[in-house]
Amino acid sequence: MATNLISRKLKQLRKENGLTQVDLAMKSGVGLNFVRELEQGKATVRMDKVAQVFALFDYELVPRKKGDES
């Protein structure tokens, strides 16, 4: 479930910023295959790289308890 949320959010941010997957990979310093797999919801991705990609959009990944909106 969380993977789908991350995938959808990344794709949304990428499109809102007019970036292709290639652009995103280059600007965030990860490989194109990683971006593709992340957007497709692959369950086993490196969290450090996920954080690296989201940092491009000034987002951070933080742990929180399910249902906790704070």
Is 25 strand, coil or helix? helix
Is pLDDT of 65 > 80? yes
pLDDT tens per residue, range 12-41: 999 999 999 999 999 999 999 999 999 999
Longest dimension (CA), the chain: 34
Other Cβ atoms less than 10 A from the Cβ of 15: the count is 10
* Token pair for 19: 């970036």
Q: Who contacts 70 (Cβ-Cβ below 8 Å, separation ≥6)? A: 64
